[in-house]
Structure 1
Amino acid sequence: MNKYALVGKDISHSRSPEMYRKLISPSVHYDLLDYKTAEEIPSALDLLNIYDGINITSPYKKHFLTQVELTSTALEIGAINCLKKKKGKVIGENTDYLAIVDILKEMQKDYGDLEVIILGDGVMASVARLALKNLGLSFKVLSRKQTNNFNQLNLIEHFQSPTALPVVINTCAREFIFNGIIPNRALFWDFNYNFSQHSSTIPGKVHKYVDGLEMLERQALYAVAFWSK
């Protein structure tokens, strides 16, 4: 039986076990490895002596960087969310990036020009920035480090284009709840999924609210492909 696991912190809510059972097999073995501190985490090699593949989520997407060989994408980003062992080597990949690029391309196809504001400056913001840069899309980053009353921002003031679709990408953790002002023609893309604090309030304020579940599912498809190579 194939065995996989997710490494993270406070991940009891994760949908990964059911997702990978659906993608791989109903009988697949998938564990949630919840570590309160980085010091508790076994080495990448020790984990892959037990599991056929590892997923990684916040706050540990940079934890294994010095222990593994990185793909070109992961090296450029400086963060990984998947591990595998091949021919004695441990390899790290970032399938979040691949999923984000796919979804952004579909937005371009559906809406044309996009003007993007990223909320947050953590690892997922870095992944989003690289995807936007490589697609030639303009963007601005806003974070609590540089902005007062971050969750109460008037985002209308930050968009410049009269014709491009305003897109807000929320990369912040679930502790952040946005209660500011958004253009009513905007698309709000939340990297969190099943996040009721946003899904119950933001859809009525914007043209479209995009839950993070689609990104999670797409990165999982890329993870399965990565593990099988």
Structure 2
Amino acid sequence: MRKFGLIGYPLGHSFSKKYFTAKFETEGIKNCQYDLYEIEDISLLPAIIRQNPELEGLNVTIPYKEKVIPYLDSIDPACEEIGAVNCIQIKDGKLMGYNTDYIGFKESLNNWLKGEKPYALVLGTGGASKAVVKALKDLGISYLMVSRNPGEDPGIISYEDLAKSKSVLDRNHLIINTTPLGTFPKTEEMPAINPEYISSMHKVYDLVYNPEKTFLMRSLEARGAVVKNGLEMLQLQAEAAWRIWN
């Protein structure tokens, strides 16, 4: 039996398990199973590997995308730039790290923009933003980041600056939410962005996929923006992981 799985904590609602279980069934992929490994500390990873010699691949989710790196034998060059790993290939006892969030987002965004290269506004500077920024660089899209704690970096502004300055949104027509704000069950939350500054010139890509249409998406769509959630990115990153494992 070929085994795959997800490590993280907690693992209440897992997209990955549902996705791969359905994939194995619908595509007639035999002798494969996908399990959840809910570990309270990343130091338990070696024990998981030892206890499951059939494991060929793992997905990695919060809070271990950065913490897992010291446990790997090697990482893909993209991971060095991003600073996070969300996919592990296990082969001949060696663990190789990849970032399929970056692969999935890049492919999804490129398909959606159809060759356009609008200036982007990236909401959030956490782990998810790093994969987004790497994809934007690769696609040749200029970007400005928004953070609660911008510091001295000229490429990062505060939400207060964003709220006061209509010119920022006049210039940046692609808005990407990398924060978890608006995720179920806290569905009435959204990043601090003024809908009055939004028009039909804007595109909004929210990495959140549950609910299907977030409060941010609904609020800015009402002003004419074109909106998209993160489900396709998740599906594409899952398929990228499957290619890596095979």
Residue equivalent to 2:140 = 136
Identity %: 26
Distance 1:78 1:180, change over 3 A: closer
Deviation at 1:33, TM superposition (A): 2.7
Residue equivalent to 1:113 = 117
Deviations 1:11-60 (A, max 9, x none): 31222112112333367422233344445x32274476352211011221
Greater alpha carbon shift after TM alignment, 98-107 vs 52-61: 98-107
Distance in 1 (CA, whole Å) between partners of 2:164 and 2:175 is 12
Distance in 1 (CA, whole Å) between partners of 2:81 and 2:51 is 24
Q: Is the 8 A contact 1:170 1:190 kept in 2?
A: yes
Q: Tell me the TM-score normalised to structure 1 length.
A: 0.83
Instruction: Check if 1:191 corresponds to 2:201.
Output: no
Distance in 2 (CA, whole Å) between partners of 1:180 and 1:174 is 12
Distance in 2 (CA, whole Å) between partners of 1:56 and 1:71 is 15
Distance 1:66 1:36, change over 3 A: closer
Q: Is the 8 A contact 1:122 1:171 kept in 2?
A: yes
Q: Is the 8 A contact 2:2 2:54 kept in 1?
A: no
Structure 1 runs (4+) deviating above 6 angstroms are none
Distance 1:49 1:156, change over 3 A: farther
Deviation at 1:214, TM superposition (A): 0.6
Q: Kindly tell me the number of residue pairs found equivalent between the two proteins.
A: 223
Deviations 1:139-177 (A, max 9, x none): 000111126656x8367431353xxx7111111124762
Q: Is the 8 A contact 1:117 1:139 kept in 2?
A: yes
Q: Is the 8 A contact 1:9 1:59 kept in 2?
A: yes
Q: Which of 48, 63, 67 matches 1:59?
A: 63
Instruction: Check if 1:158 corresponds to 2:174.
Output: no
What one-letter code is carried by the residue in structure 1 that aligns with 2:167?
E
Residue equivalent to 2:103 = 98
Deviation at 1:192, TM superposition (A): 1.4
Residue equivalent to 1:177 = 190
Instruction: Check if 1:215 corresponds to 2:233.
Output: yes
What one-letter code is carried by the residue in structure 2 that aligns with 1:193?
Y
Distance in 1 (CA, whole Å) between partners of 2:163 and 2:98 is 34
Gaps of 5+ in 1: none
Distance in 2 (CA, whole Å) between partners of 1:63 and 1:34 is 15
Distance in 2 (CA, whole Å) between partners of 1:156 and 1:168 is 14
Gaps of 5+ in 2: 151-156, 183-188
Deviations 1:170-223 (A, max 9, x none): 111247622521412211111111134445544323422211111000000000
